[in-house]
Structure 1
Amino acid sequence: MRFTTRPELVGTFGMVASTHWLVSAAGMAVLEEGGNAFDAAAAAGLLMHVVEPHLNGLGGDTPIIGFDAKSGTPWVLCGQGPAPAAATSAAFTDLGLDVIPGTGHLAAVVPGSFGAWMSMLERHGTLPLERITRFAIGYARDGYPLIPDAVAAIESVSDLFSDHWTSSAEVYLGSDRHVAAGARFRNPQLADTLERIVAEATRGGGTREAVIARARDVFYRGFVAERIDAFMRQPVRDVTGKDHAGLLTADDLARWEPTWEAPTTVEFAGVTVAKTGPWGQGPVLLQQLAMLAHQDIGDPGSAQMVHTVAETAKLAFADREAFYGDPDFVDVPLNDLLSDSYARERAALVTSHASSKLRPGSPGGRHPRLSPEIFRERAQGGAGTGEPTVRSMGTVRGDTCHLDVVDRWGNVVAATPSGGWLQSSPVVPGLGFSLPTRAQMFWLESGLPNSIAPGKRPRTTLSPGMLLRDGAPFLAFGTPGGDQQDQWTVPFLLNLLVHKMNLQEAIDAATWHSTHMPSSFFPRSFTPLGLVAEASLGADVLTDLRARGHELVVGAPWTLGRISAAGFREDGMLVAAANARGMQGYAAGR
């Protein structure tokens, strides 16, 4: 048995794993009082919006994968809001822009997180709304310890807050413009917002479901939407160095509802792997696994394994750039992309040496099309950051949040909240939260799968996952990390399913990711042949990887990935594990 940073939790009652210890504790408290996995996930998710404001927020985005034990059916709930009705390519090019700024009002899409949590609660939960929201309201009102990365994010944009985003300064900067890691931090505006939503929703009485539906209406058709609309009309500074008003309106919020969809799946190593549709990058994990089924992956943590996984990732992510988009607007050849014949064809391109090319394929005979803007170099401006960032090894990388819940009845939830980052969008005055800037993922060039269009979902990186065995749920899993989400989970799954590590061993194992593929976020940078790897892979492995042609960046151990997972063993016992990386993720259960 390998040494692990903490035990794999095993029990019979319930499990919660997430990227923040308070979130896991809140989710477990809901299970203890008789709530199910959906109740626990909603309470935990709403609290996550409070305690990790640099990584997600109440005005952000949340895709969810769930399994309802009563119906025996897995589902995907899309909490990714679409582009505003006014968001045409011309709306940006008329302003002299050739890409959508990563910060400020122009990148705002409909905030989907709150609608997703409420829709899940209405359909699958059991507890009343006030029991679900009490943790988020309590910590926003009474305070919580601000983690160091949140402090770093606030300090990085403190001048912007003071000079331009004064509503953010009001929330995040004290009178002395100083915030301290570990100090008690309060957001009374956010507490007021949530309390008012609950009060207005419960005022009309009725069933639990009716109250929750009204809460959704209060957000998307009531005072929240009205304040968002008013703020969007006020120009604010963005990464271009200029002030721009927004395109999002109250009508955009009023028209939107989260959608329920079937998951996209492939079979691998005796289990069904479930992901979102191609409006997210989830199928890119499925493509990688389909290709790896036809390759020699080598021993755990070996140069053969790292090289094969990295080269396979390059192929899958190239297809992501060429073919993925909102299937309500684009004919994505998903069946061809996930077919075994295509996987074999693509896997054959992996050789013993690293490829320097971006090589999308031709699934079903489709001709790939990439934007020339991918290859254009851009400098990042100083007016905020277009994506959430965690500093590591002198660089910045994308990050967000994740949580997993399983209960004693067999219900399962995996959710990846993100967006509404404090450093990317100013706080809506009086509401205490920021808006999502996910429109930056669109291309302004027409004719691409991810070209911008009114009402279209951006092709997001958010990617919760689920494993099923013989139709029953086996594991909920996921990680923060932007474009790295569906890279870090590949060695995790290989270690778990192929190399038969336990859950905690698979999470703790040394990991890596390629930077060869274009970033989904402004300014769309990428490093051909780039490979970032933890030093704990070992000197011999790292030397071998360099010899194979990888441009290696070696980071300290425990710096890449923040995977968490919760699920069931074959004997029916519940299991969970969380990541020591980042020093804040935790699993709880019994």
Structure 2
Amino acid sequence: MNLSRPELKGTLGAVASTNWLASGTAMSILEKGGNAYDAAVAAGFVLQVVEPHFNGPGGDVSIVAHQAGTDGATAVCGQGPMPMAATIETFRALGLPQVPGSGFLPACVPGAMGAWLRLLAEFGTMRLADVLDPAIGYAAEGFPLFPDMARAISVLAPLFADEWPTSAQVYLPGGVAPAPGSRFRNPLLANTYQRLLKEAESATSDREGQIEAAHNAFYRGFVAEAIDAFVPRKEMLDATGERHRGLLTGQDLADWRPDVEPALHQGYRGHDVFKPGPWSQGPVFAQQLALLEGFDLGAMGHGSADHIHTVAESAKLAFADREAWYGDPDFTDVPMAGLLDPAYTEERRKLITGEASRQLRPGSPDGRTPRMPERPRVDGVPDQEAEWLRQLDNGLPTIAQLTSARNDTCCVTVADRHGNLVSAVPSGGWLKSSPAIPELGFALGTRGQTMYLDEGHPNSLGPGKRPRTTLSPTVVLREGRPYLAFGTPGGDQQDQYTLEFFLSVVDFGMDTQAATEATTFYIGQVPSSFVPHESRPGVLMLERSCAPDQVAELARRGHLVDLVPELSLGKVCATGFDHANQLVLAAASPRGRQPYANCR
């Protein structure tokens, strides 16, 4: 393998994120004396500004954090719930067979801001102004417009101009789509951040008090008021091709606070792996590890047909369980202990043979009967409709047909000299999700599209219930010491891309940078969490760097191999520790050309 970049090492701190402006911001915070959590929050706010096609203040975030001197990790849930008015009957009455992928109807309580503030308050050391100022600067003074964002704005420009004028105000300066590389500003968003900070600082001089005042300004103050005045009162065009009011109200925001809980734990070959709970897809990572611990992957050889086949078949079993069992544990009894029970895992492992399966086969933990969701057939918009309407019909942030790789969403990871580790995956509230809120400069997330109008399923729609999110960061300890924090964009594929990274390090002995650049693959068998919930049974998406003889062997075993360009799947970012040399380390995938790592 010819690596494009080295594994970075330093002594002060390490950062890796999906955007170099965010990485530079995080490193500047570490240089000013902030810890890993301060740096991650500052980078998270910058990502909201510079990658609004992937995330925003109206979206969501999942965070896993390890504090130096402890033996575990904490998950911060920034996945907001559905509005209290959101019921299955509400959508049925509108004649909808599923929750649409864009517009106001799938909008949840925006959880990202609350989660970042909670992380800062409980784990950080800096004041709100210290971590918010860089984002304010980029929003007010501008940043170079990235090509993906410019393409997205160009495709959606007719929608913004004709139907979503509040988005046009933000993204079409002078009434035209800005050019790639041009200096782009979002003064409305800058003003929103500045007002949050002003209200925080006018409330008190206390650090924690200011963070709480900012939370109140967002969820009970002027931000909630702006959302309440627009979303449930204004009919706007959405993915159905019709105009609907939203269900989200200011009261929904006022009633919500982010959860902080012990992260889910799974051991693997002497490592302690920590993930968010079953309100996310995170436990599929743990289930895959449990299955794979029964195989000698290292002896198979990296990139061999044996290696790829075994990992792919394990993924099919774990994701089938996701479909049948995962949901908001506040509303459904998720049998997590049973799903990770060694006896259950052993029975499931027996299903992995030398042939590729083309079925989703959920298991029966604790003897319970699995429930797969009913998926109505929904016809897409007619071919003669406008391109922007076809884009609305796809609930992912990427502009469909411009890229085949699912590399949407953002990621930031940080390690500091104290031994703290944090990984965060923010998403939602992207510019094609819903109309921008007047005077605020950002859109709302549409994670509600991942829920089913199927009464009784763990991930069925319900008022105040969290949609099962795909956002899935990871923190790993080794021999009780902090080791790695990593994450990636990629929707449903996140826990395949990052699993392959982790296995490359643990089972195949690669350094972290080599692991980010290794051949990557994913299964198409699992129905997408996002509208239109497509699946491709038997398909194995595989980068062309895989050896041709191994590709042929995978096809012989029954995989429908779909070769994609090299370095096109995932954007894994990782930070961690080289304890033997008392160093921090960082790595970032070269995929997409925007992720960057930094060490000092």
Question: Contact 2:157/2:177 (CA < 8 Å) preserved in 1?
Answer: no
1:206 Cα deviation (Å)?
Answer: 2.7
Give the equivalent residue in structure 2 for 1:541: 550
Give the equivalent residue in structure 1 for 2:309: 307
Give the equivalent residue in structure 1 for 2:337: 335
1:378 Cα deviation (Å)?
Answer: 3.7
1:382 Cα deviation (Å)?
Answer: 2.5
Question: Contact 1:387/1:398 (CA < 8 Å) preserved in 2?
Answer: no
Give the equivalent residue in structure 1 for 2:539: 530
Query: For the structure 1 residues 398 and 325, does the alpha-carbon distance in structure 2 shift closer, same or farther, using more than 3 Å as the test?
Result: farther
Question: Contact 1:30/1:43 (CA < 8 Å) preserved in 2?
Answer: yes
Question: Contact 2:409/2:489 (CA < 8 Å) preserved in 1?
Answer: yes
1:512 Cα deviation (Å)?
Answer: 0.6
Matched, 1:574 2:574: no
1:473 Cα deviation (Å)?
Answer: 1.8
Matched, 1:382 2:390: yes
Matched, 1:358 2:357: no
1:168 Cα deviation (Å)?
Answer: 0.5
1:493 Cα deviation (Å)?
Answer: 1.0
Q: Deviations over 1:66-120 (max 9, x none)?
A: 1122655420110110011111111111101110010000000000111011111
In 1, Cα distance between the equivalents of 2:9 and 2:168?
44
In 1, Cα distance between the equivalents of 2:24 and 2:402?
31
Unpaired segments ≥5 residues, structure 1 = none
Query: For the structure 1 residues 406 and 248, does the alpha-carbon distance in structure 2 shift closer, same or farther, using more than 3 Å as the test?
Result: same
1:274 Cα deviation (Å)?
Answer: 0.6
Give the equivalent residue in structure 1 for 2:2: 3
Query: For the structure 1 residues 72 and 271, does the alpha-carbon distance in structure 2 shift closer, same or farther, using more than 3 Å as the test?
Result: closer
1:580 Cα deviation (Å)?
Answer: 0.2
Question: Contact 2:18/2:411 (CA < 8 Å) preserved in 1?
Answer: yes
Query: For the structure 1 residues 501 and 212, does the alpha-carbon distance in structure 2 shift closer, same or farther, using more than 3 Å as the test?
Result: same
In 1, Cα distance between the equivalents of 2:226 and 2:112?
17
In 1, Cα distance between the equivalents of 2:322 and 2:177?
42
Task: Report the AA paired with residue 268 of structure 1.
Answer: Y
In 1, Cα distance between the equivalents of 2:498 and 2:209?
38
In 2, Cα distance between the equivalents of 1:424 and 1:157?
11
1:470 Cα deviation (Å)?
Answer: 3.1
Task: Report the AA paired with residue 508 of structure 1.
Answer: E
Task: Report the AA paired with residue 417 of structure 1.
Answer: P
- My pick for the range that moved more, 406-415 or 153-162, is 153-162
What SS does the corresponding residue of 2:225 show, helix, strand or coil? helix
Give the equivalent residue in structure 2 for 1:93: 92
Give the equivalent residue in structure 2 for 1:345: 347
What SS does the corresponding residue of 2:486 show, helix, strand or coil? strand
1:366 Cα deviation (Å)?
Answer: 1.1
Q: Deviations over 1:500-557 (max 9, x none)?
A: 1100011111111111111000111100001111001121121111111111211111
* Identity value in percent: 50
Give the equivalent residue in structure 2 for 1:421: 430
Query: For the structure 1 residues 390 and 307, does the alpha-carbon distance in structure 2 shift closer, same or farther, using more than 3 Å as the test?
Result: farther
In 2, Cα distance between the equivalents of 1:394 and 1:12?
38
Question: Contact 2:55/2:427 (CA < 8 Å) preserved in 1?
Answer: yes
Give the equivalent residue in structure 1 for 2:457: 448
Question: Contact 1:393/1:555 (CA < 8 Å) preserved in 2?
Answer: no
1:407 Cα deviation (Å)?
Answer: 0.7
Query: For the structure 1 residues 392 and 296, does the alpha-carbon distance in structure 2 shift closer, same or farther, using more than 3 Å as the test?
Result: farther
How is 1:84-163 mapped onto 2 (pairs within 5 angstroms)? 84-163=83-162
Q: Deviations over 1:120-155 (max 9, x none)?
A: 111121111111101100000111111111112112
Task: Report the AA paired with residue 586 of structure 1.
Answer: Y
In 2, Cα distance between the equivalents of 1:146 and 1:547?
45
Give the equivalent residue in structure 1 for 2:386: none
- My pick for the range that moved more, 2-11 or 528-537, is 2-11
Give the equivalent residue in structure 2 for 1:433: 442
What SS does the corresponding residue of 2:475 show, helix, strand or coil? strand
1:394 Cα deviation (Å)?
Answer: 5.5
Query: For the structure 1 residues 392 and 503, does the alpha-carbon distance in structure 2 shift closer, same or farther, using more than 3 Å as the test?
Result: farther
Give the equivalent residue in structure 1 for 2:482: 473
What is the count of residue pairs matched by the alignment? 588
Q: Select 2:574's aligned residue among 533, 556, 565.
A: 565
Task: Report the AA paired with residue 433 of structure 2.
Answer: S
What SS does the corresponding residue of 1:350 show, helix, strand or coil? coil
In 2, Cα distance between the equivalents of 1:235 and 1:383?
20
Task: Report the AA paired with residue 564 of structure 1.
Answer: C
1:390 Cα deviation (Å)?
Answer: 5.9
Give the equivalent residue in structure 2 for 1:586: 596
In 2, Cα distance between the equivalents of 1:440 and 1:392?
20
Task: Report the AA paired with residue 441 of structure 2.
Answer: G
Query: For the structure 1 residues 394 and 405, does the alpha-carbon distance in structure 2 shift closer, same or farther, using more than 3 Å as the test?
Result: closer
In 1, Cα distance between the equivalents of 2:305 and 2:391?
41
Question: Contact 2:196/2:217 (CA < 8 Å) preserved in 1?
Answer: yes
Query: For the structure 1 residues 176 and 248, does the alpha-carbon distance in structure 2 shift closer, same or farther, using more than 3 Å as the test?
Result: closer
Normalised to the residue count of structure 1, the TM-score between the two structures is: 0.97
Give the equivalent residue in structure 2 for 1:248: 248
In 2, Cα distance between the equivalents of 1:542 and 1:219?
51
Task: Report the AA paired with residue 477 of structure 1.
Answer: F
Matched, 1:239 2:247: no
Question: Contact 1:55/1:421 (CA < 8 Å) preserved in 2?
Answer: yes
In 1, Cα distance between the equivalents of 2:69 and 2:338?
33
In 1, Cα distance between the equivalents of 2:84 and 2:177?
40
Question: Contact 1:390/1:397 (CA < 8 Å) preserved in 2?
Answer: no
Task: Report the AA paired with residue 168 of structure 1.
Answer: S
What SS does the corresponding residue of 1:228 show, helix, strand or coil? helix
Task: Report the AA paired with residue 267 of structure 1.
Answer: G
1:356 Cα deviation (Å)?
Answer: 1.2
In 2, Cα distance between the equivalents of 1:108 and 1:501?
41
Q: Deviations over 1:201-224 (max 9, x none)?
A: 101223111111100100000000
Question: Contact 1:221/1:250 (CA < 8 Å) preserved in 2?
Answer: yes
What SS does the corresponding residue of 1:537 show, helix, strand or coil? coil
In 2, Cα distance between the equivalents of 1:49 and 1:379?
30
Query: For the structure 1 residues 547 and 393, does the alpha-carbon distance in structure 2 shift closer, same or farther, using more than 3 Å as the test?
Result: farther
What SS does the corresponding residue of 2:427 show, helix, strand or coil? coil
Question: Contact 1:241/1:383 (CA < 8 Å) preserved in 2?
Answer: no
What SS does the corresponding residue of 2:406 show, helix, strand or coil? strand
1:65 Cα deviation (Å)?
Answer: 0.5
Query: For the structure 1 residues 271 and 104, does the alpha-carbon distance in structure 2 shift closer, same or farther, using more than 3 Å as the test?
Result: same
1:492 Cα deviation (Å)?
Answer: 0.9
In 2, Cα distance between the equivalents of 1:308 and 1:70?
36
In 2, Cα distance between the equivalents of 1:268 and 1:548?
28
In 2, Cα distance between the equivalents of 1:305 and 1:548?
13
